[in-house]
């Protein structure tokens, strides 16, 4: 699909996908077993999120567009270089991006998301565990990405066609990697006892953030969840908690019993205590 094509009509067939964190595990030296996880600039986890906009996509997009136009003409927000540069260089001006927005602007956009846009989000979290990466993913980022994405897609069998509007993120969102993730999801659905087989048609629509404003919803949901896992900070996540219907912490084996690694607002809320953040320190990983 053309990178400038916008999702249209209702959101029944569209899902908006983005990622947060990085997939760096080891030093870049070939064959290195030196873990970089938790070092400055290297995340402790990698996550993929999916948003379902309920209702007319044009109306939801318009609400965000009005917000962006306000930012483009607001002297206070334009005093922040990261905002002014997007107003100047963005496809249609400023576009929301949580990691680049100042705190004052983040709060305003989070309120807009909560109060003005009807959507739900699901997030799959992959703790970066070297033993899992070596044993399960054969040290391949492609396999790590596909494994997480397949968990996100395994309940989408009823959506046909399923149109994945995906934030462009370099090699991870290449069509080859995306198709591999879908293939893994199909195989997982065939083996599953709680999911039905995934035989629906899947289309990819990979776009830059500034070409599809609805991707900002996924970006902000991911950023708020990432703050919990990386910093133990829940205040932003709490603002969106009613919209985020599931956070699945895939590799947390300590909470597999009774599905405690599935965080839902009513039954098992996501908190720093629930994920064991206080005990989450960069360990001295044993030699594999």
- Taking only the tens place, the pLDDT of each residue in 100-130 is 999 999 999 999 999 999 999 999 999 999 9
Nearest to 43 by CA among 25, 29, 57, 22: 22
At residue 265, φ and ψ (nearest 5 deg) are -55, -45
165, HSE (Cβ side, Cα atoms, 13 Å): 27
CA distance 130 to 128: 6
Model pLDDT, residue 266:
81
Residue 281 scores a pLDDT above 90 = no
Average pLDDT, stretch 79-97?
Answer: 96
At residue 207, φ and ψ (nearest 5 deg) are -140, 155
Task: Count the neighbouring beta carbons within 10 Å of the beta carbon of residue 147.
Answer: 20
**Which residue's entry shows tokens 């609805």?**
214
- Taking only the tens place, the pLDDT of each residue in 136-147 is 999 899 999 999
- Taking only the tens place, the pLDDT of each residue in 165-209 is 999 987 777 788 889 999 998 888 888 665 678 889 999 999 998
| Structural contact between residues 185 and 34, judged by C-beta atoms closer than 8 angstroms | no
CA distances to 2, 116, 149 from 230, in Å: 35, 28, 20
Instruction: Provide the residue ranges of all domains of the chain, joining segments of one domain with +.
Output: 14-54+99-279
Average pLDDT, stretch 28-54?
Answer: 88
Q: How is domain 14-54+99-279 classified at the architecture level of CATH?
A: 2-Layer Sandwich (3.30)
Strands 244-249, 202-207: parallel, antiparallel or unpaired by DSSP? Answer: unpaired
Average pLDDT, stretch 245-268?
Answer: 92
DSSP 74-116: -HHHHTSHHHHHHHHHSSSS----TTTS-HHHHHHHHHHHHHH
Model pLDDT, residue 177:
86
| Predicted TM-score (pTM) of this structure | 0.91
Model pLDDT, residue 4:
46
191 against 135, higher pLDDT: 135
Model pLDDT, residue 6:
60
- Taking only the tens place, the pLDDT of each residue in 227-254 is 999 999 999 999 999 999 999 999 999 8
The maximal CA–CA distance of the chain, rounded, in angstroms, is: 56
Model pLDDT, residue 32:
73
- Taking only the tens place, the pLDDT of each residue in 2-38 is 444 566 555 689 999 999 999 999 887 766 778 899 8
* Average confidence score pLDDT of the chain: 89
Model pLDDT, residue 50:
97
Average pLDDT, stretch 59-77?
Answer: 97
Model pLDDT, residue 284:
42
| Structural contact between residues 154 and 184, judged by C-beta atoms closer than 8 angstroms | no
């Amino acid at each position: 699909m053309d990178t400038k094509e916008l999702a249209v009509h209702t959101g029944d067939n569209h899902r908006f996908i983005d990622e947060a964190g990085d997939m760096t595990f080891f030093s870049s030296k070939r064959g290195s077993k030196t873990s970089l996880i938790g070092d400055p600039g290297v995340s402790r986890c990698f996550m993929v999120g999916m948003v379902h906009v309920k209702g007319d996509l044009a109306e939801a997009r318009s609400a965000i567009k009005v917000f962006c136009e306000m930012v483009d003409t607001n002297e206070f927000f334009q005093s922040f270089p990261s905002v002014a540069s997007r107003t100047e260089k963005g496809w249609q001006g400023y576009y929301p991006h949580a990691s680049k927005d100042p705190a004052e602007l983040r709060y305003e956009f989070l309120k807009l998301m909560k109060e003005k846009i009807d959507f739900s989000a699901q997030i799959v979290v992959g703790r970066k565990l070297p033993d899992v990466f070596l044993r399960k993913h054969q040290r391949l980022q492609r396999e790590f990405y596909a494994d997480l994405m397949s968990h996100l897609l395994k309940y989408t069998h009823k959506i046909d066609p399923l149109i994945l509007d995906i934030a462009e993120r370099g090699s991870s969102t290449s069509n080859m990697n995306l198709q591999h993730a879908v293939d893994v999801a199909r195989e997982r659905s065939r083996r599953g006892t709680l999911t039905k087989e995934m035989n629906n048609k899947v289309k990819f629509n990979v776009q830059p953030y500034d070409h599809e404003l609805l991707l900002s919803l996924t970006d902000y949901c991911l950023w708020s969840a990432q703050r919990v896992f990386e910093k133990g900070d829940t205040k932003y996540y709490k603002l969106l908690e009613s919209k985020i219907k599931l956070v699945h912490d895939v590799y947390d084996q300590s909470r597999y019993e009774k599905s405690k690694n599935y965080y839902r607002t009513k039954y098992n809320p996501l908190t720093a205590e629930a994920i064991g953040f206080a005990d989450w320190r960069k360990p001295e990983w044993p030699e594999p």
